[in-house]
Amino acid sequence: MVLVKTDNHVAGSDQLSAEIESMIHGSLDRFAQRITRVEAKLFDDNSREKDGTEDMRCVIETRPSGLKPIVVSHRAATIDQAANGAVEKTKKSLQRTLGRRQHRKGQVPFSGPIAD
């Protein structure tokens, strides 16, 4: 399950939610069996009235089964860039966290490329 939220300075829409959900599903599908929920929160830290080079922020909270939530954040100039950066960080964190967990259980850790 993917949930997309925005603050009151980011114009939320069904299209924006669909784009973010698609981005998350495309990058994190290989972990789908081990994730119970993903929340993406989009923020404009300087609000619409102010100019800023990296004032858009995306925070993604992922809840792997039986583990503590993994939270990452990424700042960028646009919502798309912030979301892409946060998704990439999430993917790396999940691979590292779930890979360690597999290794401890005596399984061979994943060493292949991350699916895009």
Alpha carbons within 13 angstroms on the beta-carbon side of residue 66 total 5
Has residue 94 got a pLDDT over 60?
Answer: yes
pTM: 0.80
Residue 62: its pLDDT value, please?
96
The string of pLDDT tens digits covering residues 4-52 is 999 888 888 899 999 999 999 999 999 999 999 999 999 998 765 555 5
Residue 107: its pLDDT value, please?
52
| Complete domains list, the chain, with CATH | 2-104 (3.30.160.100)
The string of pLDDT tens digits covering residues 42-92 is 999 876 555 557 789 999 999 999 999 999 999 999 999 999 999 999 999
Among 101, 92, 98, 90, residue whose Cα is nearest residue 2: 90
